Each structure stands twice: as C-alpha cells, then as structure tokens.
Structure 1
Amino acid sequence: MQNIELNNLAEVRFKLAKAWQLKGKVNTAIATYKEVLQLQPNHAKAALKLGSLLVELGDLESAIAIYSQAVELNPNEAELHKNFIDALIKHQGINAAFNYYQLTRIDNHHLVEKPDDIICCTVVRNESLRLPYFLSYYREKGINKFFIVDNSSTDNTQSYLIQQPDVYLWNSTRSFNQSNFGSVWFEILLRNYGLDRWCLIVDADELLYYPNCETKSIPQLCQELDRKYKKAFNTVLLDMYSDKPIRETYYTPGQNFLEVCPYFDRKFYHTKYEQSGLYKNQTIYFGGVRERVFGKEGSYYLSKVPLIKYSLDRVLAGGQHFTNCSQGEIALESGCLLHFKYFSSFVNYVETEVTRKEHYGNGMQYAEYAKGIAENQSLTLYDRHHSVKLQNSQQLVELGIMHTEEVEPEFPKIYPIPANIHRPFWSVMITVYNRLQHIEKAITSVLQQADSPEQMQIEVINDGAEALIQDRIQEIVNRVGGDRVYFYKHPKNVGHPHIFNVCIERAKGQWVHILHDDDWVEPGFYNSLKAGIEKAPNIGAAFCRQLYTDNIGNPRLSPLEREIPGIIENWIEELAIWCRVQFSSMVVRRDVYEQLGGFSPQAKSAFDWEMWKRIAVNYPVWYEPETLVCFNKDATTETSQLLKSGGQIADTRRTIELSRQYLPPSIADDISYKALQYYADYAFNLAQQQFDRNQNQEALANILEGLKCSPTPAVEAALVSLYRKVENRLWQEK
C-alpha cells in the first residue's frame, strides 16, 4: 500500500514539475523532478525531462549522473539510453560511450566507408551453428559490411568471425538486457560509422524476406525506398519450423535454413492493433505459431523494423520492434523476417536462457518454451491444419503476410451506351442528398442555358434520402424543372464517390457534367466549353476557372492555369501536387470513363482529384480561363466535416500513394514527394487556424495526419512544435 501511495504522489509531483517547466520556472521544475525521482527512482519520464533540462543548462555532469542511474533502473527504455549517450559524447567524446557500454573492437580489418554501403548489424552469443549461412545469405543479397557485437561467446563464434574479411567485430561483456537487448551497442557504432546510411538490424536466426527478393537485392530495395523518401521498412517475424519434432530437427552449419525448416503458420498472427506501438505509427501483430503451441502467456510480439536509414534523431529499440520515424517515412511495402529458432539446438538453448534471464521479461518466453518442451519431449510445431510450406515471396504477399506498395487499384467498370440509344451532347447530373436550400438555384442555373432535350439530358440524382426528404426534393424539381428535368431516386444511400458513378452510369450524353446541389453554373458555361471541345476533339476533359464562397460569403477564385483558352501543357506535373480543380468545373467525355473506369472508392473524399490525375496522365485537358462555375462551401458539406477530423488529409495521403502507381515513372516519386510536402504544410496551416480558434481537438487531429505526410524535417518540426502547444493547452484545460 505504501508503494502505491508513493507512486501516486510521484505522479502528482511529475505533473506539477511539467507545469513549472511550461511556465518557464526551470529551477523549480528541476527541483520537483528530483523529488519525483526520490519518491520513485525508476520514473523514466521524470529522468528524461530532468536530464534534458540539465543538458540545456549545460550541466552535463549532473545530466550524466541522472541518466546513468536511470538506465540502470530502466534498461529497456530506448530514449533514456539515447539521451545518455548524447550527454556522454557531448561531455567526453564518443570513446566515453564505447567505454561505458564495454564495447571493444577485436578485429584488425581496415574499415573503408563508402556512401552506398548498407551495414548489417547483429548481436551474437554462441552462434557458430548459424553464422556461415547467415553471412552467405546476406552477401548474396548485396550486403558487404557486417557490424557484429559478440556478447562473450563460449564457442568458436569469435574465432570464426574474425577470419571473415567483411565482418567488423566488437565484444561486450556487459549484460544483454542492461544494454537494451543490444540496441545501445548499435546506437554507438552507427553514430560513428552509419550516419545517413541504410542499416539492417537483425539477429543471427533472422533472414530478411521482401516482395521480389528472389530478383531484387537489398541495395536495390534501399534505392527504391530512397526514391520514395522512405526511411524505414516494416516486417513481421515469421517463425519457420520443420515437420519433425524440435529435438529431431538437425541442422548442419552452412546449410540453407529453409532446407531444414520450410514451414510456417498460414495464420501468422492472433491479435492485431492498428496505429499502435510506442509511437502509434505501426500495425502491431502478436501471436503466431508460438501462441498456438506455447500459449498466450509469452506475449509473442511479431512486428519489427529491421531496415532503417540511421540518423541522430532515430531511436533504436531493443529488438528493433518499433521506430520513431513519422508514418510518412515508413514504407507502405512490407516484408518479413524468416525466423529460424527451432533447430534441435533450441532445447539446450532454452535451458541456458531460462537461467541467464537476459531476454525480455527476465526470459519469460523461455520459461514458456521450457514448460512446453518438458510436457512433451516430442514437441513439434508442425500441424497439417495450420502449416504451409514456403514457396516464394509472392506466396507471402498473396497470404497477406507481406505487402507490396501497390494497392490493387479499384476503378469501377463503366459500360458503354448501347448503339441504338440516342446520344445528346451533354448529360448534366445534379446530385443531392438531404439538403433543400440550394437545389433550386443549381437547377435554375442549368435551365437558363440548356439546349433542347435532344442536346442536353438533365437529371437530379438523390442519394437514397428518407422518403419525406425525397418527396420535398421532387416538389422542387417538378416546380422548377417541370418536364425538362428528370428526378431519380436511388434506392439506398451509397455516399461518395459511389453516387457519382451512378451519375455516370445514368448519363447518356457524349460529355458528362456532374454538379453538387450547392453548385451553380454561370451563363456561357456550356457554350464556352463546347467551343473548346470542338477545337480539340482529342481531349478527354475540359474545365473552367471557378469561384467559391464560404459560409460567410468570402469569395475565392481557383488558380488561373493559363491566360487564354487551350490545352494545358504538362498539366499532370501541376495537378498531381495538389487538387487545383473543383469538382463541378470539370466536364469529361463519357467514353473516357468507359476506358479508365469510374471514381475510385479507395480514394475516399479525394476521389475527384484521383480521377482528374488519371485523366491527365492519359488525355489532353482543355482549360477555359473565364469564371463560369460557382459553389458555396458551408459547414454542412462533407469536406467541412472532414477538415475537423483530419479525414481529408488522410484521404489525400492515400490518394497520393494510389496515383503513384500510374504517374509517369520519370516523375512519379518526385511529384509524390512534393504532394506529401504540400499536404503536410496544408495540415500545419489548417491546424494553426484551428488552434487560434481554440478548436484544439480538431487541430490535434490534423497535426497527427500531417505528420504522416511529412517528408521534410522542417515541416515535421513545425507540426511537432504545434502539437506540443495543443497538447499543453489540452493538459491545462483538464
């Protein structure tokens, strides 16, 4: 009970210390953080805050003393180790970090660093059985530098490794657990040798597997990630095993691991958490074959981030299970680590590790392994109902264990109009759901410049509103449009973008124009765009400049793309960075939809931008600089609601990745990067406005989505700074 009371008091004092710090009372904050650590010496957050303040004040010796105690009490807190190493290096140089963590170089190879070197890092202890094939596999995949830390092996591991010309070998007698499962050793090594390089951090029983790994080397994979401005590559730990009892799974050094253990569980996980992990930026998996065989008590964590581009702000986790990269820096493509733990040597290894207690949770997983082996001397992981034999990387993609970046595009089929159907030039389709206040103006604006029914089809399309609303809309349509405008009631509400595909399907005209109920066209819209279409019959779409107003009447014009009417040159290079075209200003040839498909539901609220990009890649586009379309943007629109939740930024980011697949290869990566940068900056400006209006939850939502876009340090730093301001305000409001 006394410990609980002390812990509660420590938390109260910790909150008070943060409050003092926010108010600029630095000395009072320092004294209060020290009180927290007296009450609860292993309070990692207090140690981090206190150490950082002391470093800022230049009191490095005091900071080092705080961090030194903290890492001993919290050996698996990665940020504590990182801050401690920062302070050591600032105060005494890099050698102080090597000395503290007992890291000694024992090979005599000359280390020549090349800009494109990819460093493979691993910690080993008594791994002479696996190392020959481990090195062979990664050499074949293009790795030519191995940084290996031997944690006091007692077999011939060191003597074998010291003979390998591409292995740079260190020894540490320090506890594996106290070194955050080896991650701090790599933190020191990579600061010295790996800045701004791709680094592969794996165990000796792990083989990196990724889409098309049969023909693609790891350097090629890293080059692709660089082109996409990615800095981390996610994987799932996939346990591999034989069809024999573990005790009878014999392995010979140098043998391909897969020759002995080619099986894995089709159901590769039991529990999944989205937007999870320490930094809420990963999908986290638990379970797999180990949970199936040994039970849930082991909490088998399957997510790892073994391939990263190291920088000084990168936090290395124990076991490399998470990353502090922003979500926008994490590749959409993912792989797996084939995990070869279950050779016959596993039985003796378990006995040793149960005693050493150096692994996670004092070796709690090894206690579960020992229990399972003791209960069944013939224990096997193979089960014909669960086990699958590995064939190739494509198999794992098809099973959903690995992912390619390319989400299979979903472009709904639009069928041609039968040959015997009359085709007017225009089909004007006006969509409405449950709003009544705008629809009359939209219909009237079209009728004022409508051609004959033979030249213009006009329909109002209702998206499955309740019967009473539909009846009231029909009254307006009948009163304003008479027999000239047809009212179609869709049987159910399908939402965006599906209702717009319904519009295309119902359109009989050669050219399709879709309006929202709060849009209206100015006189001359159809005549002007038709004139352009007739001058350039090969175009796929045409649009004009647009005026829109917000709910208090502030006017705003869309960009002027060119001074005189005509085809826009290199249009995709402008359009693909941000959505420059409002929905109702665009008209599209119906057979273009037939060729390219309808609006993609994968793009969600950014479905129109995605479509305009798809058209611009495949067809010339005509532009009319006169302002001939208007719309009112008020708080009832879907966009206004999405701006409050961060949904618009999330949908836009998804659309950028979708269109990357069909943009011209020569510009796809550069344009996508610029688009992500634009919308990260847009999210910041939007969140700043919301913050200024005290819309704190809305600002927070857009900041978090903006961080997932942020490809540049400057934008990310601005978003993080604003996030802290919002977080502080929310904390003060509690």
Structure 2
Amino acid sequence: MYPVENTISLAIPDIRPPSPVVWSIMIPAYNCTGFLEETIKSVVSQFSDYSAVQVEVIDDCSTDANVEEVVGRAGKGKVSYFRQTTNVGSLRNFETCIKRAKGKYVHLLHGDDRVKPGFYTKMETLLNSDDKIGAAFCRTNYINDNGEYLFTQDAETNTEGVLNDILLRLGEHQRIETPSMVVRKSVYEHIGLFRDVTYGEDWDMWIRIAASYPIAYTPDVLAEYRRQANGSITSQKILTAQNIYDLEHVMQLTRQYFPEEKVNAIQRKAKLYYAAYAIRTADKLWHSKQHVKGALNQIKAAFHFSKSPVIIMAAAKVLVKILIRYK
C-alpha cells in the first residue's frame, strides 16, 4: 500500500499584474533533443504575430545536446530558453513552466510531443466562449519515435463544447493527454501546482480542475503524443510496480472531489481499469524484455486492485507464457 500523506506542493504560482500576453506555450524538456526541433516547429508555424505569444523551452539540465542551440535554430528568434541550474525533476520543471508563464492561457507541451495546425485557434475559441471555462482539450493522435501515426484516441463525444460529466469520467481513468490540454493561468493560481505524485500527477491535476471549473472539448484531432520505443518500460517505477501504487495514491487523494454517493463505484471502475493496465504491462515486460520479476510485480499490483475473473484469466495467460518461456 502506498502511504497516504498530504503531498500538496506548498509553492504557489507567481501572481503577476495583468499581461498583454494571451498564450504561454511552455515546453519542459529533458534529454529529448532529438524530438525538440519537431516540437518547436509545430508551435511556431501557427502564429504570424508574436506580440501576444510567449514560447519558452524550460530545460531541466539536459545532457544529450546543446539545447539552447537547438532552440535558437528551430525557434528562429521566436522561442526563449531557460535552463535550470540543477536537475530538478519533471514536477518541479512543470512548476517552473507555470511560474514563468505570463499569458492568459498556459499550454504545457512536452519536448517530444507536437501540436497540429489550428490547435491554438481552436483552443482559444473554446476558452473564449465562456469566461467560466477553466480548461479545454482536444482529441489526440499517438505517434512513434519517427513521428509516424500509431492510433487515435477515442472521442469523448462527437460534438464540441463543455463536457458536463468530465469529472466522473476522469475518476474512472486518465483520459486527457498533457499536450492536448490548455489551462487558464488563473486556474493554476487558484488550485495550485502539480502535487508530488511521480506517476499520475497529470491525472490528479485534471481531476482537481474538473472539480472546480467547466472543461471544454473538441473531437478534432489537434495534438500528438509520442510513445517512444525505448520509453519508461524498464524504469524502476515500472519494474517494481510503484507506478500502479502511485495511481492508487492519486485515487486516495482525489476521493474528496467526487459525490459521496458515487465515489466508491467510480474508483472500483478505476481499479479494474488499472488492474488490466498492469496485466498489459506485465505482458509487455515479458515479451519485450523477458523481465520476470517486473512482470510478476505488475501482476501482484493488478491483484491488489482487482481479483475479478477477467483479471485472473488475463494474469494466468501471462504466467503461462513465462512458465513455458513463450515469447
């Protein structure tokens, strides 16, 4: 069981005087220089006038290349660069992004992801439709290391506008990829920064926003999330299944945001969803890495969440593959 404690960051975003900047496109980056040029170009191609646009790369002390040089080449004078003095980790780097944002709308765009033409125009239209709307997001394409299409996220709805049940949907599982989400700066100033959860911090944030503000949506596919072949599958969090226990921690932290009469049912669905996710991860660990201990840890975590017949059957299939050394 992941220990439950109050891990809300005590740091508060800087609240600055009104700014003429409309867009703050903040690009957190760490050792993703091979993709960063694509990311920057996907942004700068969308604006002809930068008088109300801030684009900035926040480098968490990358060691893979000269990031400032890449920013200068790809940004062509339209993108600024800030480097942390020491490596602070992804959460604190996100915090720096939000604190340095000057605009009305904040877009956190990971240094290996991309946006498609029309993203900012569409998001601004959605957010401008009602001042009460706290955030807006779109549908996402998934791409590989080479920028090639993998698949498209299922649509939340076929119509555009405020999603009235997004809080309940988010309770069941994470369904908003970070590059697809834009948040008003005032919302971050109100609800605070990302909480200290290494795996699932974005899920926690979107739930907190949805509990306090309407969220708008478009089914248009305008963001691209990169799934790297050599991603985090062998990270210590995955091998120990701490990623699953982190998700449980998010569920415990966010119980307070759901209707009391619905929260248990919502979180049962979440546990079943992430139990299935853990089994899929176990299968991947075995097939791609033959990592028996990591696969068994994921299966154990899955059973911690759910012992439904579906989960037991799926786990049994993975265990048989391991026993017979099937690859």
TM (norm. structure 2) is 0.89
Structure 2 residues not aligned, in runs of 5+: none
1:383-427 deviation digits (Å, cap 9, x = unpaired): xxxxxxxxxxxxxxxxxxxxxx963241444334322x5341110
The change in CA–CA distance for 1:453 and 1:411 in structure 2 (over 3 A counts) is same
1:566-604 deviation digits (Å, cap 9, x = unpaired): 001211111111111111100001111111111111x21
**C-alpha separation in 1, matches of 2:234 and 2:209:** 26
Q: Where do residues 641-720 of structure 1 align in structure 2 (5 Å cutoff)? A: 641=235, 642-693=237-288, 695-697=290-292, 698-710=294-306, 712-715=307-310, 717-718=312-313
Please say if residues 427 and 508 of structure 1, whose CA atoms lie closer than 8 Å, have aligned partners that are also in contact: yes
**C-alpha separation in 2, matches of 1:569 and 1:654:** 26
* Match in the other structure for 2:162: 567
Task: Give the secondary-structure state (helix, strand or coil) at the position aligned to 2:158.
Answer: coil
The change in CA–CA distance for 1:520 and 1:723 in structure 2 (over 3 A counts) is closer
Letter in 2 for 1:596: I
Task: Give the secondary-structure state (helix, strand or coil) at the position aligned to 1:427.
Answer: strand
The change in CA–CA distance for 1:569 and 1:501 in structure 2 (over 3 A counts) is same
* Match in the other structure for 1:499: 93
Shift of 1:645: 4.7
The change in CA–CA distance for 1:525 and 1:694 in structure 2 (over 3 A counts) is closer
Structure 2 residue aligned with 1:583, among 178, 182, 187? Answer: 178
**C-alpha separation in 2, matches of 1:627 and 1:539:** 20
**C-alpha separation in 2, matches of 1:409 and 1:436:** 31
The change in CA–CA distance for 1:640 and 1:585 in structure 2 (over 3 A counts) is farther
The change in CA–CA distance for 1:423 and 1:409 in structure 2 (over 3 A counts) is farther
Please say if residues 429 and 458 of structure 1, whose CA atoms lie closer than 8 Å, have aligned partners that are also in contact: yes
Q: Does 1:440 align with 2:37?
A: yes
**C-alpha separation in 1, matches of 2:226 and 2:276:** 25
Q: Does 1:418 align with 2:22?
A: no
Q: Where do residues 463-482 of structure 1 align in structure 2 (5 Å cutoff)? A: 463-466=60-63, 469=65, 472-482=66-76
Please say if residues 413 and 594 of structure 1, whose CA atoms lie closer than 8 Å, have aligned partners that are also in contact: no
Please say if residues 699 and 726 of structure 1, whose CA atoms lie closer than 8 Å, have aligned partners that are also in contact: no
Shift of 1:453: 3.2
* Match in the other structure for 1:521: 115
Shift of 1:705: 1.9
Q: Where do residues 137-176 of structure 1 align in structure 2 (5 Å cutoff)? A: none
Shift of 1:446: 0.6
**C-alpha separation in 2, matches of 1:510 and 1:628:** 20
Please say if residues 503 and 514 of structure 1, whose CA atoms lie closer than 8 Å, have aligned partners that are also in contact: yes
* Match in the other structure for 1:460: 57
1:683-731 deviation digits (Å, cap 9, x = unpaired): 1233234445562423223112212222x4425533663575366458x
**C-alpha separation in 1, matches of 2:38 and 2:288:** 32
**C-alpha separation in 1, matches of 2:182 and 2:285:** 34
- Larger RCO (alpha carbons 8 Å, 6+ apart): 2
**C-alpha separation in 2, matches of 1:647 and 1:561:** 29
Letter in 1 for 2:231: T
Please say if residues 127 and 134 of structure 2, whose CA atoms lie closer than 8 Å, have aligned partners that are also in contact: no
Letter in 1 for 2:73: R
Letter in 2 for 1:612: W
The change in CA–CA distance for 1:672 and 1:453 in structure 2 (over 3 A counts) is same
**C-alpha separation in 1, matches of 2:106 and 2:320:** 47
**C-alpha separation in 1, matches of 2:184 and 2:234:** 30
Task: Give the secondary-structure state (helix, strand or coil) at the position aligned to 2:199.
Answer: helix
Shift of 1:536: 2.0
1:428-481 deviation digits (Å, cap 9, x = unpaired): 011111222111111111110125333110101101234x83xx1111111221
- Equivalent pairs: percent with the same residue? 31
* Match in the other structure for 1:536: 130
Q: Does 1:431 align with 2:25?
A: no
Please say if residues 406 and 661 of structure 1, whose CA atoms lie closer than 8 Å, have aligned partners that are also in contact: no
Please say if residues 141 and 149 of structure 2, whose CA atoms lie closer than 8 Å, have aligned partners that are also in contact: no
Task: Give the secondary-structure state (helix, strand or coil) at the position aligned to 1:627.
Answer: strand
Shift of 1:498: 1.7
**C-alpha separation in 2, matches of 1:663 and 1:576:** 8
Max Rg structure: 1
**C-alpha separation in 1, matches of 2:157 and 2:62:** 41
